[in-house]
Chains A and B, each alone.
Chain A
Amino acid sequence: MNNVSIRTSGIRPAALWQFVQCQWLNLVRMPAYSLPTLLFPVMFYAFFGLVMIRGQAHYLLATFATFGIMGAALFSFGVGIATERAQGWFTLLRATPAPLAGVVAGKWFGAAIFAAIIVVLMEVLAAVFGGVRMHPGQWLGLVGVLVAGTLPFCLLGLGLGLLMSPNAAPAIINIVYLPLGFLSGLWIPVSQLPGWMQSFAEWLPPYHLARLALHVAGVQPTDVLLNVLVLVGFSGIFSLLVVVGWRRTRRSP
């Protein structure tokens, strides 16, 4: 009975790998998540970025890719956590030695892989049909920035997922996701929005992630530090939402 492990923190690499693998398999095998998450933003980019709005393929690659990764993060975490919480999966995991950070990290890797696929699919479309040309480092950099940029949206999704019922989650996530994308200038260039909307966009996190994406893609330079700080600030605010949701979950598992 006393021959037990003395490890008290962290997660075994094998366990983290299992969580990543399982999260990925669960998402891929769920067409209701994987098809819309992968195809909708890519189709939107093809329709708006390549067909409807001419000459903006490079700019809209960065903004629609931002829109795509937001969806992957918000739906994976928001709907995923709300459903798992209601089913009891989350409670069962809490009764095991699995550290919460490991569970969340596994989920984040799953969302990050989806995000990377979305960006790469759009890059292929942009290169083949939009004539977009970038250095190899810029193609890769765009993927890297947007995958890292899933973090605040994963936190927002996690917070909402801890607070919402599984029935309400898809509707509420859509209410957050679609207006946030439009008002941040992800569907049409922000310069083409009315003046008040341009000012409003600066207060929204997707706008700042899109600025970074546009910068890395060589479309428009930006104040990188400012955009990063704003995103870190929003991550902090969304973390508070996670804390509120977590406390509520702990009171009534």
Chain B
Amino acid sequence: MSADGTCVAEFRNVSFRYGKVQALEGVDLSLSRGKVTALLGPNGAGKSTLIHLLLGLLPVQAGSTELFGGSPQARLARERVGAMLQISGVQDNLTVLELIRLFASLYPKPAEPHRLIEEAGLTGLEQRRFARLSGGQRQRLLFALALVGNPELLILDEPTAGLDPAARQRLWRVIEQRRAAGASILLCTHYLDEAARLADRIVVLHRGRKLTEGTPDDIRSHVPSSLIRARSSTGLDAIGALEAVTTVDRLEDHVQVMSGNPTATLRDWLATDADLEVLEVTGADLETAFMALIDNDEKTIQEAA
């Protein structure tokens, strides 16, 4: 842990291999107290491996990991962590209440089971066995099991996968409440709107390497382009030839253009199509920036090969 106690977990130059597959390579990461850190990356980027190393479920092969200033495998550290992992089942024949009570018995200061059931949106399902829960209800139960120890560090691996919009919103509110109460949260997600709403910091992984790290605005600023949407009679090829245009797509009756210099692009476009209408210019969103980062890295790797 850092001297001022703000860092709850730290990775230093961590690498990990599954046989010949390099899952992580030289990753540095620090999780701060009371902050939500979102871990983004395409499938196979190394996100789950990083989480398993952080939880002490995999042995560190190279580099070092610290959880609350000690080994992730130390029991004391685990008492301060709650994890929601991507798993397909628990004990199928145990009820929601039985599973929560079982997990509560493992922690020194557990949450009150019925309060937790309400918080996770499981009221009325207390006596239902796991096997008879829907996919969304199972996700909510796994979320409750992660919260049961009142963790100081909450690790959530795709927590809203399969949840309906209302359940997602509820889960987001709980995450925000936990952060406000001082908990640190590592959120691994494929939903970029979720990361944009919740994350204080974002870490982007690709092919086992950390591509970048920063606030959501920092990540967006990696793409200097702006997004221009308009209704135009100009052909796509002609639009693609306008100054500073990087990509052009037609979406229903609109044309969507990415431009490195929106002023110059619009000047040229208006010169070719004076009837340009329903014009909208915005900065790149997180999803665009994320995709651009991944695409650029892929190109760099392919060029190097």
Interface residues of A (CB under 8 A from B): 1, 4-9, 12, 14-15, 17-19, 22, 25-26, 29-30, 84, 86-89, 91-92, 94-99, 250-253
Q: Which 5 A-B pairs have the closest CB atoms?
A: A88-B87, A87-B89, A29-B93, A15-B105, A5-B108
Instruction: Tell me the bound Cα distance from A22 to B101 in angstroms.
Output: 10
List residues of B (81-132) whose CB comes within 8 Å of A's CBs: 81, 83, 85-94, 98-99, 101-103, 105-108, 129
B57 sits at the interface (CB 8 A): yes
The 8 Å CB contact of A19, one of B74, B79, B102, B107, is B102
The 8 Å CB contact of B75, one of A25, A26, A89, A97, is A97
4 further contact pairs, Cβ within 8 A, besides A7-B75, A94-B57 = A94-B55, A95-B78, A95-B81, A96-B106
27 A-B residue pairings within 8 Å (CB atoms): A1-B5, A1-B33, A4-B79, A4-B80, A6-B76, A14-B105, A22-B98, A25-B98, A26-B93, A29-B129, A30-B93, A87-B87, A88-B89, A89-B87, A89-B89, A89-B90, A92-B83, A92-B87, A92-B145, A94-B55, A95-B57, A96-B78, A96-B149, A97-B75, A97-B79, A97-B149, A98-B106
Instruction: Tell me the bound Cα distance from A29 to B91 in angstroms.
Output: 11
List residues of B (48-82) whose CB comes within 8 Å of A's CBs: 52, 55-59, 74-76, 78-81
Contacts of B18 in A (CB 8 A): 252
A4 & B76 in contact (Cβ 8 Å cutoff): yes
Contacts of B91 in A (CB 8 A): 22, 26, 84, 89
Report the nearest B residue to A253, measured CB to CB.
Answer: B57
User: With A15-B106, A95-B57, A251-B58 as given contacts, are A5 and B79 in contact (CB-CB < 8 Å)?
Assistant: yes
Report the nearest B residue to A3, measured CB to CB.
Answer: B109
User: With A22-B91, A30-B93, A96-B103 as given contacts, are A91 and B75 in contact (CB-CB < 8 Å)?
Assistant: no
A91 & B87 in contact (Cβ 8 Å cutoff): yes
B152 sits at the interface (CB 8 A): yes
User: With A15-B105, A25-B94, A88-B89 as given contacts, are A253 and B52 in contact (CB-CB < 8 Å)?
Assistant: yes
- Chain B interface helix/strand/loop/mixed: loop
Instruction: Tell me the bound Cα distance from A167 to B289 in angstroms.
Output: 43
Instruction: Tell me the bound Cα distance from A234 to B75 in angstroms.
Output: 31
Instruction: Tell me the bound Cα distance from A203 to B52 in angstroms.
Output: 42
Number of B interface residues in the complex (CB < 8 A): 42
User: With A5-B79, A26-B94, A252-B18 as given contacts, are A91 and B106 in contact (CB-CB < 8 Å)?
Assistant: no
Q: Chain A's nearest CB lies how many Å from the CB of B297?
A: 26
Q: Chain A's nearest CB lies how many Å from the CB of B75?
A: 5
Instruction: Tell me the bound Cα distance from A5 to B81 in angstroms.
Output: 13
A92 & B90 in contact (Cβ 8 Å cutoff): yes
B106 & A97 in contact (Cβ 8 Å cutoff): yes
Instruction: Tell me the bound Cα distance from A17 to B105 in angstroms.
Output: 9
The 8 Å CB contact of B86, one of A1, A18, A88, A250, is A88
A18 & B81 in contact (Cβ 8 Å cutoff): no
Instruction: Tell me the bound Cα distance from A250 to B106 in angstroms.
Output: 21
A1 & B79 in contact (Cβ 8 Å cutoff): no
Instruction: Tell me the bound Cα distance from A231 to B10 in angstroms.
Output: 47
Q: Chain B's nearest CB lies how many Å from the CB of A210?
A: 32
Contacts of B59 in A (CB 8 A): 250-251
Instruction: Tell me the bound Cα distance from A247 to B205 in angstroms.
Output: 28
Q: Chain B's nearest CB lies how many Å from the CB of A79?
A: 13
Instruction: Tell me the bound Cα distance from A91 to B99 in angstroms.
Output: 15
Contacts of A89 in B (CB 8 A): 87, 89-91
Instruction: Tell me the bound Cα distance from A5 to B57 in angstroms.
Output: 22
Instruction: Tell me the bound Cα distance from A12 to B106 in angstroms.
Output: 7
Q: How would residues 196 to 231 of chain B score, 1 for a CB under 8 Å from any chain A CB and 0 otherwise?
A: 000000000000000000000000000000000000
Instruction: Tell me the bound Cα distance from A29 to B131 in angstroms.
Output: 11
List residues of B (128-153) whose CB comes within 8 Å of A's CBs: 129, 142, 145, 149, 152
Q: Chain B's nearest CB lies how many Å from the CB of A161?
A: 15
B93 & A25 in contact (Cβ 8 Å cutoff): yes
Instruction: Tell me the bound Cα distance from A88 to B108 in angstroms.
Output: 24
A91 & B57 in contact (Cβ 8 Å cutoff): yes
Contacts of B94 in A (CB 8 A): 22, 25-26
User: With A89-B90, A95-B81, A97-B75 as given contacts, are A18 and B107 in contact (CB-CB < 8 Å)?
Assistant: no
B105 & A12 in contact (Cβ 8 Å cutoff): yes
User: With A22-B98, A22-B102, A252-B18 as given contacts, are A87 and B55 in contact (CB-CB < 8 Å)?
Assistant: no
Q: Chain B's nearest CB lies how many Å from the CB of A97?
A: 4
B90 & A87 in contact (Cβ 8 Å cutoff): yes
Contacts of A17 in B (CB 8 A): 105
Q: Chain A's nearest CB lies how many Å from the CB of B94?
A: 6
